[in-house]
């Protein structure tokens, strides 16, 4: 490689796209790609083994693809002697070695990483040229313009704007099927007979690169959460495309109907399992939305499912990104409900006698995956009503899921799930009793607790904590129109019942009630 380099293109582990905007104008004769595996990215939170292995394997496969396309690459491996341990330190060394005229990258997905890299580039007397990511339908600037002057932010209006602007599921300027939202047709549970035969998970066998990475993670991060035996995530673009095709053919038709359902021992149900491939940029959100819309147009999937699925990507995914970048860095510290409890230890092991939590956490540690309702209404709901400090909940979610990147994880956890932003992201706290979990197919039948009871020895901890949450936040809830009914119910409770609820909730928080399962 001739020196000095004209452009150093920085590529992070969640920017694995040969067509990324950072490569626009790339000239192999003058430019160089820079990538680094560093321990800090696996230790700044106690990253799960599945998550670390996915990032490293996908990065190494991407490095191989870059070499095959003839793009010069400076790649630092985690196990290389002299690895400096952080992105900032490695980039600083590369800038000193190659003295590039400019440094270019696609906007990163993490405030912390952006600040650290920018400081290093400035330190070298250069500017970090950030390019807008083509993987998203909107820019942060467009989101800010949408948000400006609105008292509250709600997904629905933003999503409708995007449907129109990008002509997704539109017929002559009107929403396909005459409605914007098919939520009312979705959200079914499976019923007592369960889901029956489900499509098999799309799995991808380990090749030499993945085998090497798995061995590295097992040695270097032996004490990190989770296991690797089931690792089968797509790690290349070709595999991600296969996963997308399999989802559209096999799961999309029933996605909407069962998107909120739970079933013990069934982690995947009709979910796409595409979040990690999307977040690592092995897939482009536009092609995923297009594939789903095409299935509706060709009569391969009903509108209720396709709209439900597209709403998650064109709607929620874009929306949370806008929230993250317009609210950081202060967002990270928000704690509107002043929750101060520690995260119970069993979140890291799954060893609890609450069957729904044991299921969701065990599966999370095994696969680095749980579907949305498990995250929101099982692990998230419990932490919210237990009163865990939102920052600790955030660290847990960022650690354990293969798709966890801060721009998408933080608003979902701190905002949607923990109400830490006081209602910016969600119009009310998502609180519910154990009966919600039972209704959606949770394993209450095999649990030692009873979701219908709020006090007494068999009271389901969710049910007790729900009432305790309402008691604790009674005044605040009275001011929230969407919580009015719940607030009214709590107002009817007599002093004795209030005392019993509070005592049982205290016993749950002290660990006296729930115990290892
Ligand atoms: C507390 C909490 C933490 C979360 N953390 C993450 C995270 O770190 N990374 C992440 O990608 N998603 C996160 N989500 C959103 C959602 O739970 C996951 O995207 C989804 O479960 C991934 O599984 P899937 O690919 O099978 O999704 P599907 O159910 O098949 O949904 C399709 C796609 O829609 C997108 N999507 C769905 N819901 C959301 C949402 N609420 N926000 C943004 N995108 C969404 C994802 O890209 C997903 O792949 C979180 C949700 C909660 C409640
Ligand atoms: S009874 Fe309560 S703790 Fe047990 S599975 Fe049902 S909701 Fe979960």
In this prediction, residues 89-110 reach a mean pLDDT of 97
Q: What are phi and psi of 58, to 5 degrees?
A: -65, -40
Q: What is the pLDDT of residue 517?
A: 59
Q: What is the pLDDT of residue 359?
A: 97
* pLDDT tens-digit readout, 323-334: 999 999 999 999
Q: What is the pLDDT of residue 189?
A: 96
In this prediction, residues 455-465 reach a mean pLDDT of 97
User: Do residues 76 and 35 make contact, with C-beta atoms less than 8 angstroms apart?
Assistant: yes
In this prediction, residues 94-109 reach a mean pLDDT of 97
Closest CA to 26 of 83, 85, 69: 69
Residue 1 has pLDDT above 60, yes or no: no
Q: Which residue lies with its CA nearest to atom 50 of ligand 1?
A: 412
Residue 196 has pLDDT above 90, yes or no: yes
Residue 77 has pLDDT above 60, yes or no: yes
> How far is it, in rounded angstroms, from Cα 473 to Cα 471?
6
Residue 451 has pLDDT above 60, yes or no: yes
Nearest-ligand number for the alpha carbon of 459: 2
Closest CA to 459 of 450, 471, 448, 447: 450
Provide the mean pLDDT of the chain: 96
* pLDDT tens-digit readout, 141-156: 999 998 888 867 789 9
From 412, 415, 430, 432, the mutation candidate for ligand 1 (largest count of ligand atoms within 8 A of CB) is: 412
Q: What is the pLDDT of residue 420?
A: 97
pLDDT band at residue 104 under the 50/70/90 scheme: very high
138-153 residues labelled b (16+ CB within 10 A) or e (exposed) = bbbebbeebbeeeeeb
How far separated are the first and last CA of the chain, in Å rounded? Answer: 59
Distance 372 CA to ligand 2 centre (A): 18
Q: Decide: 378 in ligand 2 pocket, CB within 6 A.
A: no
In this prediction, residues 458-473 reach a mean pLDDT of 97
Give the strand pairing for 174-175 and 170-171.
antiparallel
* pLDDT tens-digit readout, 154-182: 899 899 999 999 999 999 999 999 999 99
Q: What is the pLDDT of residue 468?
A: 97
Ligand 2 atom at shortest distance from the alpha carbon of 448? 4
From 158, 162, 267, 372, the mutation candidate for ligand 1 (largest count of ligand atoms within 8 A of CB) is: 372
For the ranges 81-90, 366-375, 467-476, the lowest mean pLDDT is seen at 467-476
User: Do residues 260 and 186 make contact, with C-beta atoms less than 8 angstroms apart?
Assistant: yes
Residue 2 has pLDDT above 80, yes or no: no
């Amino acid at each position: 490689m001739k020196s000095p380099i004209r452009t150093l293109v920085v590529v992070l582990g969640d920017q694995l796209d040969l067509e990324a905007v950072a490569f626009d104008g790339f000239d192999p004769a003058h430019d160089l790609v820079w990538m680094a595996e560093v321990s800090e990215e696996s230790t700044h939170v106690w990253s799960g083994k599945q998550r670390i292995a996915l990032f490293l394997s996908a990065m190494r496969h991407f490095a191989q693809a870059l070499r095959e396309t003839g793009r010069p690459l400076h790649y630092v491996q985690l196990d290389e002697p002299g690895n400096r341990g952080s992105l900032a330190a490695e980039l600083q060394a590369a800038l000193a070695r190659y003295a590039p005229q400019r440094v270019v990258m696609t906007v990163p997905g993490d405030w912390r990483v952006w600040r650290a890299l920018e400081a290093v580039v400035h330190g070298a007397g250069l500017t970090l040229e950030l390019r807008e990511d083509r993987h998203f339908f909107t820019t942060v600037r467009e989101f800010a313009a949408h948000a400006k002057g609105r008292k509250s932010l709600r997904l629905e209006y933003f999503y409708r704007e995007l449907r129109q602007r990008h002509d997704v599921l539109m017929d002559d300027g009107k929403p396909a099927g005459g409605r914007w939202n098919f939520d009312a047709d979705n959200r079914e549970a499976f019923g007592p007979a369960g889901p029956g035969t489900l499509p098999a998970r799309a799995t991808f066998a380990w090749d030499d690169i993945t085998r090497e990475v798995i061995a590295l993670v097992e040695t270097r991060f032996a004490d990190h959460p989770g296991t690797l035996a089931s690792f089968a995530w797509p790690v290349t673009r070709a595999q991600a495309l296969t996963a997308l095709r399999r989802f559209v053919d096999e799961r999309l038709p029933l996605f909407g109907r069962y998107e909120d359902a739970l079933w013990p021992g069934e982690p995947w149900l009709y979910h796409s399992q595409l979040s990690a491939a999307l977040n690592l940029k092995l897939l482009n959100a536009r092609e995923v939305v297009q594939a789903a819309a095409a299935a509706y147009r060709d009569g391969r999937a009903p509108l209720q499912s396709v709209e439900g699925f597209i709403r998650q990507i064109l709607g929620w995914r874009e929306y949370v990104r806008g929230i993250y970048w317009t609210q950081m860095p202060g967002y990270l510290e928000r704690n509107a409900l002043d929750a101060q409890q520690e995260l119970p230890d069993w979140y890291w092991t799954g060893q609890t006698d609450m069957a729904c939590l044991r299921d969701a956490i065990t599966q999370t540690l095994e696969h680095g995956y749980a579907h949305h309702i498990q995250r929101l209404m099982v692990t998230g709901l419990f932490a919210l009503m237990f009163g865990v400090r939102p920052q600790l909940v955030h660290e847990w979610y960022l650690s354990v899921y293969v798709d966890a990147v801060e721009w998408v994880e933080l608003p979902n956890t701190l905002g949607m799930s923990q109400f830490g932003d006081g209602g910016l992201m969600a119009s009310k706290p998502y609180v519910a009793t154990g009966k919600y979990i039972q209704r959606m197919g949770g394993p209450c039948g095999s649990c030692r607790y009873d979701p219908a009871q709020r006090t007494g020895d068999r009271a389901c901890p969710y049910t007790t904590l729900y009432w305790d949450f309402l008691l604790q936040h009674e005044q605040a809830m009275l001011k929230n129109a969407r919580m009015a009914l719940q607030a009214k119910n709590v107002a009817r409770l007599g002093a004795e019942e209030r005392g019993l609820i509070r005592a049982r909730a205290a016993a749950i928080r002290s660990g006296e009630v729930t115990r290892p399962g």
